Amino acid sequence: MTDESVPENLLMKAFYLAAPQVENARRSLNTTNGMRKALKEGRYVSTAPYGFMNTRDEQNRPIITHSVMAPIIKKAFEQIATGNFPIEVLRKKLYKEGLKISRSNFYTALRNPIYCGKIRIKAFKDEPEDIVQGIHEPIISEELFYEVQNVLDGKKKAKTKYALVNNEYPMPGHLICPRCGKTLTGSSALGNGGKYYYYHCTAGCKERHKSDGVHNTFEIWLNDISIKPEIASLYLAIMEDVFKTNEGDRAVEIKKLQKQIDENVEMMDKSAKKFINDDLDKHDYKRIKESLSRDCTELRSRIADLKATESGFQEYYHYGISLLSNMGQYYRAANIENRQKMLGLIFPEKLVFDNNTFQTMKPSEILDLLCSGGNGFSGSKKEKSSDKAAQSCVVTALGFKPKTFPTGMSGCSIGLRYALLNSIYVQRFSSL
């Protein structure tokens, strides 16, 4: 035992007590430096995030590979990118499919670039935060990752949001009570013949409709406002002409974007040379490289979108025209999610169901074209009284009022309006 009455012995005791702490600090620093070195080399060494699992390569070095959850993670990014689903609604849906993840962790995962092949390295001492290319196989593309970031940041306008609903009544949220204007919801009741399903007012009105009757009437109405067969062929010809006209503009835009990418790559090369020659410090070089790399990724994403629009034209318009010509049949065959999509796309405003007929609360441009399409191509300026679908298209401030066909509108003009409007809508329908 050390004699503490001797002052010099206290120095030796302090040394012995501090030595383990110093050793632990050194070991911790070496571990941190080793992990950061591995990260800079593109090797992820921490606990694998959702969709990946920890394993080792041929040299027994740590690496991450896809797990069985990878397809679900990819599906999450793809559906968020569409803007169709609220994040929490989608998380709950995927939770039932096996992705056991909390709300905060799900949002964090959507922000993690590791899924597109990148690794984020946190700032440490005088080193700024950096993003490097990983050696693992990405689950999604960079373009898809940045599309999701735009949705999360509010830079990409979200489309109609769809709630999770029961298969027996897919229209809650789309129907309005004709008495008080409140939203109708769905519920079931037990009777002598089993379970019956109804739509009823959420405000306590006595408004109540059997779901079967509502659905059958709605399918008939969809068929009534579908594009007529004789119009479809002319419609296709006009759309082909519109797309061919736009192909030239699309090619010019792609060339312009590619030129910007080449300029950014050239700037990165110049920055790298300056950094090697000590004309540019490390911090500025990383900042410039990260900014230009992000710009290049976004530009490539825009080019991919333009090329996809061109290459998928045949598939889009044939499928889209088929759907718009047989909306009742497609609606009947669709699953619950796709029925919700059709409702949101064709009727962005809610519907009123009264006296076994449907009306919209506000004019819908696509519904306007669908209702007046046949008359427009025939050159008629008046609406046929027998056209029940067109007579119940809109509810005005004065009550239910049949829509009148705009005068001075030639067949070609109507066809062109069809083409211009549905060149957007057809692609959205094609996701059904």
Per CATH, the homologous superfamily of domain 52-152 is: Putative Large Serine Recombinase; Chain B, Domain 2 (3.90.1750.20)
Q: Which pLDDT band holds residue 64 (cuts at 50, 70, 90)?
A: very high
pLDDT at 406 over 50: no
Q: Which pLDDT band holds residue 213 (cuts at 50, 70, 90)?
A: confident
Residue with tokens 């019956």: 196
> What residues contact 349, with CB distance under 8 A and at least 6 apart?
360, 361, 362, 364
| Per-residue pLDDT tens over the stretch 231-290 | 777 777 777 777 777 667 778 888 899 999 999 999 989 988 888 888 888 888 888 888
Could you state, in order of their start, the residue ranges of all structural domains in the chain?
52-152, 227-325+363-432
Q: Choose between 247 and 416: higher pLDDT.
A: 247
Q: Which pLDDT band holds residue 362 (cuts at 50, 70, 90)?
A: low
pLDDT value of position 41: 85
pLDDT value of position 136: 92
pLDDT value of position 384: 38
> Which ranges in 128-210 belong to alpha helices (H)?
142-152
Residue (of 132, 126, 142, 137) closest to 41 by Cα position:
132
Eight-state DSSP code of residue 183: B
Burial per residue of 394-424, b for 16 or more beta-carbon CB atoms within 10 angstroms, e otherwise: bbeeeebeebebeeebebeebbebbbeebbe
pLDDT value of position 395: 38
Q: Which pLDDT band holds residue 189 (cuts at 50, 70, 90)?
A: confident
| Per-residue pLDDT tens over the stretch 152-173 | 887 665 454 444 456 676 777 7
Helix axes 229-276, 365-378, angle to 10 degrees: 130
Beta bridge partners of 183: 176
Greatest mean pLDDT among 132-141, 374-383, 421-430 lies in 132-141
| Per-residue pLDDT tens over the stretch 309-339 | 555 555 666 667 777 778 888 888 888 778 8
pLDDT value of position 374: 42
